[in-house]
């Protein structure tokens, strides 16, 4: 790890600059795949599945038989763990829906806002080096709580044309039946534009590599919504003298093992602690199966020695990490000062991995500094908040003159007339001015 | 208006197809302006202001003097109306913030979610044919309620280098001081990339013409968030035999006067009613100053004669209108069946114009069918929802095995180790297993 000692450069954006990846080089390739799926449908999906996943599939949908086989292939320990995680995630996300509250802004002017599920959504679950059934929990649970009617799941098949049993077990547990063995850009294209097999959806969720990210950007231009822009996963840890070097080292490593492009940042005011943590990292690294990946990520990672806690918070808010671990004494007080972060972990017993899997919070979070303007996925991501208003005769009478004056001032006479025609009708009908 | 009589084509998307505008022809031009602002800052803004707004400005920021002059230029009636609208909008939007609620998903595992304002936001208020001070209310009020620290307002100057006094009065009323006389693509560029005068922001809000829309799409690629994709304004009205033809006609006209590209749709099962409404439209149209604009919009507008209420709801949900007026007897029952719409107006005394100005709901709404996946602007649009979790020793002990099993199954050993290192520390320290 590279150590930045008590930097005089206060441009923290510059000090902690993330690598910039230019997707324009991929764009041509990705566009071609999307266009082929759009025009040729399943035929194109078949072709790309053969080319990229190395397997010839005629039927992409996971069968009932495959679902039931899956449960038998998993240990009871794993199945129970997935159930525990599901319960926690459900508990946390269920509290995110609020019943409509009618606000009477003026007598007879009632306004409210209602959560209505997005009808059709698509969830992309990457395959590759790890079967991310945890991501299926994180997307499928809020989608179900929101009440989305059509929930499509796509994930790349392995060489035998199968999905990992943990993904299938999780899908079944969540009641998801529209699960397809399709991966990569062709999956994003199929969900965006629809094929004979796959229904098109209004919003697509899920992580992925640079091809997936680029595909999601492109289909967004065609009016399909996406969860958020994406970048490599990140963690920032703030540690003080009360933190445990081996805990912090383990947290940094758990982010580093994600991929060579993972961003790992440690902030502390103590040079001694930072040295102890580095020693611990060396020690723990040796035991990891993904040692080589983690090493590559660590090479580009940074230790920032800060003057004090205040400066730590300043740097952290400027960096806007996806995950932020406050491994320190007064974590609650510091957490109150966090302005930009995806998810925050307080104290010595809250490693990032509990949030990744089972604490209940969502692990689909804004990376790449997007925490400055984006939230992580929640039930909100799967609903629209439709507003309603209902005025009584009294209501329009109370508010009428206000609307007329404003519409006239904006030069929108017909807007004023829509009120006037009602007011004169009311006065005409109710000469006694019984306006209720 | 074109009448579609009891269509046999049940592909309502096709029947009610919106005009497709391809912004790629503008893209080159818009990109050039954005790039110039990015590299040359204020100098470029000055140049484009001269070229496009026809005025040479050295200082873009609205001065204290201009703010105080503005109030004197407006009638008391208008000022009071703006104040009434502000109060209603504040009342409705203030109810949108929920205090964090701590959910203990397992003993010792506490999770919560907090609304934190986006620090820096930019509000674009179009000039052109109307001074849209109402849009400033709709964006400025939720931004203030959210607690955004830096709120930049940009609006194009008139030929004398001034902003409309109603915009300045509204800005002052909302406590907004960073108001700049900059319009068009150069305003979007200045807020996205920053200049010496204008601070860069993390998210840009506001309507605009096709150039503004294109500029917002382009800066989004650079990681600046935007409120939502945009298209021409729309209304759909469902009317039954209890509705008043002159009210409905006035509502359709108030949408039509917005612009020649406005989308206006009437649904009813009664051919008689539709004829009465058309006659009313002809009558009311004559009195409108924006008659020519409204006429153009009406030429492309549609009356859809539906079989019954059920079919009306089916068509409406498929069309996903920005504004939906349920001008009918059982509006409450129908409103419950609305899945896709931006804002809904119930009954005969709730014209769209009350929502445009003063009922309290927001008028920045998803157009172009985006109501299928997007919500209108609300306080939510100005905050991020950061999640937090704090585990006690008991918490990590309760959840530890679950996380370990899932991490191992995903092949992420370091994730499991981050839990393990804590569990063995707890067991080591507390041989009596006093894990609290």
B419 contact residues in A (CB cutoff 8 A): 351, 353-354
pLDDT, residue B354, reads 98
Distance CA B68, CA B62 (A): 11
Q: Which of B207, B382, B417 to mutate to test the interface with A (most CBs of A within 10 A)?
A: B417
Inter-residue contact B96 to B132 (CB < 8 Å)? no
- CATH class of the domain comprising A392-435: mainly alpha
Distance CA A7, CA A319 (A): 15
The SS3 of residue B262 is coil
The SS3 of residue B81 is helix
Residue B203's φ and ψ, nearest 5 degrees, are -150, 140
pLDDT, residue A436, reads 41
Spans of all domains in chain B: 2-19+232-360, 23-102+117-230, 392-435
The answer, for A380 touching chain B at a CB cutoff of 8 Å, is yes
Q: Give the bridge partners for A153, in sequence order.
A: A123, A179
Instruction: List Cα–Cα distances, A239 to A15, A301, A311, in angstroms.
Output: 19, 16, 13
Minimal CA separation from B4 to chain A, in Å: 25
| Continuous segment of H or E residues that includes residue B174 | none
pLDDT above 70 for A431: no
Nearest to B140 by CA among B382, B376, B355: B382
A398-402: long-range contacts (C-beta < 8 A, 24 or more apart)? A398/A106, A398/A107, A398/A108, A398/A109, A399/A106, A399/A109, A399/B84, A399/B88, A399/B354, A399/B358, A399/B359, A401/B77, A401/B81, A402/B80, A402/B81, A402/B84, A402/B85, A402/B357, A402/B358
Residue of higher predicted confidence among B258 and B188: B188
Q: Confidence band (pLDDT; 50, 70, 90) for B83? A: very high
Inter-residue contact A203 to A150 (CB < 8 Å)? no
pTM of the model: 0.95
Mean pLDDT, range B336-345, rounded to an integer = 98
**Residue B323 bears catalytic tag:** yes
Q: Tell me how many degrees the CA angle A408-B258-B190 measures, rounded to the nearest 5.
A: 95
B379 contact residues in A (CB cutoff 8 A): none
pLDDT, residue B430, reads 58
- Beta-carbon separation of B387 and A258 below 8 A: no
Spatial strand order in the sheet of A343-346: A2-5, A302-305, A263-268, A234-239, A323-327, A343-346, B383-391, B109-117, B103-106
The single residue of B93, B164, B323, B363 carrying the catalytic annotation is: B323
Nearest to B414 by CA among A364, A283, A3: A283
Mean pLDDT, range A17-40, rounded to an integer = 90
Residue B113's φ and ψ, nearest 5 degrees, are -140, 135
CA dihedral (A32, A35, A41, A45) in degrees, to 10, reads 20
> What rounded mean pLDDT belongs to chain B?
94
* Interface ipTM: 0.96
pLDDT, residue A430, reads 58
For A214, the closest chain B residue by CA position comes to B221
Hey, what are B432's tokens? 């009596």
Nearest to B123 by CA among B115, B113, B114, B132: B132
Inter-residue contact B261 to B18 (CB < 8 Å)? no
The answer, for B287 touching chain A at a CB cutoff of 8 Å, is yes
pLDDT over 70 for what percent of chain B? Answer: 98
pLDDT over 90 for what percent of chain B? Answer: 86
Give the model confidence (pLDDT) of A206-239 as tens digits. 998 899 999 999 999 888 999 998 888 999 999 9
Distance CA A227, CA A224 (A): 10
Minimal CA separation from B395 to chain A, in Å: 8
| CA atoms in the 13 A half-sphere facing the CB of B182 | 32
Q: Confidence band (pLDDT; 50, 70, 90) for B363? A: very high
Instruction: Please report the residues numbered 15 through 44 in chain A whose beta carbons come closer than 8 angstroms to any beta carbon of chain B.
Output: none
Give the model confidence (pLDDT) of A148-203 as tens digits. 999 999 999 999 999 999 999 999 999 999 999 999 999 999 999 999 999 999 99
CA dihedral (A400, B328, B346, B352) in degrees, to 10, reads -50
pLDDT, residue A434, reads 45
| Continuous segment of H or E residues that includes residue B284 | helix B271-285
Give the model confidence (pLDDT) of B117-155 as tens digits. 999 999 999 986 678 999 999 999 999 999 999 999 999
Distance CA A6, CA B408 (A): 38
B415 contact residues in A (CB cutoff 8 A): 254, 257, 352-353, 356-357
Of B80, B389, B410, the CB nearest to A355: B389
Distance CA A77, CA A134 (A): 15
Q: Confidence band (pLDDT; 50, 70, 90) for B230? A: confident
Pick the CATH number of B2-19+232-360 from 3.40.50.620, 3.40.50.2300, 3.40.50.450, 3.40.50.1980: 3.40.50.1980
pLDDT above 60 for A435: no
Inter-residue contact A332 to A346 (CB < 8 Å)? yes
Spatial strand order in the sheet of A203-205: A179-180, A150-154, A120-124, A203-205, A225-226
The answer, for A308 touching chain B at a CB cutoff of 8 Å, is no
**Residue A323 bears catalytic tag:** yes
Nearest to A338 by CA among A367, A357, A317: A317
Radius of gyration of chain A (CA): 26
Distance CA B298, CA B304 (A): 14
What totals of helices (H) and strands (E) does chain B contain, helices first? 17, 14
Radius of gyration of chain B (CA): 26
- Beta-carbon separation of B92 and A81 below 8 A: no
A36-39: long-range contacts (C-beta < 8 A, 24 or more apart)? A36/A189, A37/A185, A37/A186, A37/A189, A37/A190, A37/A193, A37/A195, A38/A189, A38/A192, A38/A193
Lowest mean pLDDT among A122-126, A431-435, B66-70: A431-435
pLDDT above 50 for B435: no
CA dihedral (A7, A13, A19, A20) in degrees, to 10, reads -150
Strands (E), B260-353: 263-268, 302-305, 323-327, 343-346
By CB neighbour count within 10 A (0-12 exposed, 13-18 middle, 19+ buried), where does A175 fall?
A: exposed
Residue with tokens 């197809």: B17
Mean pLDDT, range B253-270, rounded to an integer = 94
Distance CA B132, CA A110 (A): 24
Considering the domain A23-102+117-230, what is its CATH architecture? 3-Layer(aba) Sandwich (3.40)
Mean pLDDT, range B271-286, rounded to an integer = 96
Domain B2-19+232-360 and domain B23-102+117-230 have a common topology? yes
B163 contact residues in A (CB cutoff 8 A): none
pLDDT, residue B144, reads 98
Nearest to A12 by CA among A433, A319, A224: A319
């Amino acid at each position: 790890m590279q150590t930045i000692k008590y930097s005089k450069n206060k441009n923290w954006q510059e000090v902690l600059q993330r690598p910039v990846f230019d997707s324009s080089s991929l764009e041509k390739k990705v566009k071609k795949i999307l266009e082929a799926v759009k025009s040729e449908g399943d035929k194109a999906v078949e072709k790309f599945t053969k080319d990229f996943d190395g397997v010839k599939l005629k039927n992409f949908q996971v069968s009932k038989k495959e679902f039931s086989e899956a449960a038998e292939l998993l240990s009871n320990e794993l199945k129970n763990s997935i159930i525990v995680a599901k319960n926690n995630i459900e508990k946390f996300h269920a509290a995110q829906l609020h019943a409509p509250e009618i606000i009477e802004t003026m007598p007879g002017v009632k306004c409210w806002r209602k959560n209505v599920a997005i009808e059709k959504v698509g969830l992309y679950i990457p395959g590759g080096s790890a079967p991310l059934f945890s991501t299926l929990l994180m997307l499928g649970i809020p989608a179900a709580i929101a009440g989305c009617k059509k929930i499509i799941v796509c994930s790349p098949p392995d060489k035998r044309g199968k999905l990992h049993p943990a993904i299938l077990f999780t899908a079944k547990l969540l009641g998801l039946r529209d699960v397809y063995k399709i991966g990569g850009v062709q999956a994003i294209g199929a969900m965006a534009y629809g094929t004979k097999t796959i229904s098109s959806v209004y919003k697509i969720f899920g992580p992925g590599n640079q091809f997936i990210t680029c595909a999601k950007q492109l289909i967004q231009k065609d009016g399909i919504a996406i969860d958020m822009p994406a970048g490599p996963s990140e963690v920032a840890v703030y540690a003080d003298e009360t933190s445990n070097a081996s805990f912090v080292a383990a947290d940094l490593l758990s982010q580093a093992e994600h991929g060579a492009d993972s961003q790992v940042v440690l902030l502390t005011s103590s040079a001694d602690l930072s040295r102890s943590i580095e020693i611990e990292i060396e020690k723990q690294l040796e035991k990891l199966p993904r040692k080589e990946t983690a090493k590559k990520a660590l090479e580009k990672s940074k230790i920032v020695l800060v003057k004090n806690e205040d400066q730590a918070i300043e740097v952290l808010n400027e960096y806007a990490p996806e995950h932020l671990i406050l491994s320190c004494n007064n974590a609650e007080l510091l957490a109150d000062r966090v302005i930009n972060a995806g998810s925050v972990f307080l104290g010595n017993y809250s490693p990032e991995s509990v949030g990744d899997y089972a604490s209940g919070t969502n692990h689909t979070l804004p990376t790449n500094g997007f925490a400055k303007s984006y939230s992580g996925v929640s039930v909100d991501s799967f609903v629209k908040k439709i507003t309603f208003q209902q005025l009584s005769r009294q209501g329009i009478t109370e508010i009428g003159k206000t609307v007329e004056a404003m519409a006239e001032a904006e030069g929108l006479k017909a807007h004023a007339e829509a009120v006037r025609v009602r007011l004169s009708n009311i006065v005409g009908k109710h000469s006694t001015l019984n306006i209720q």
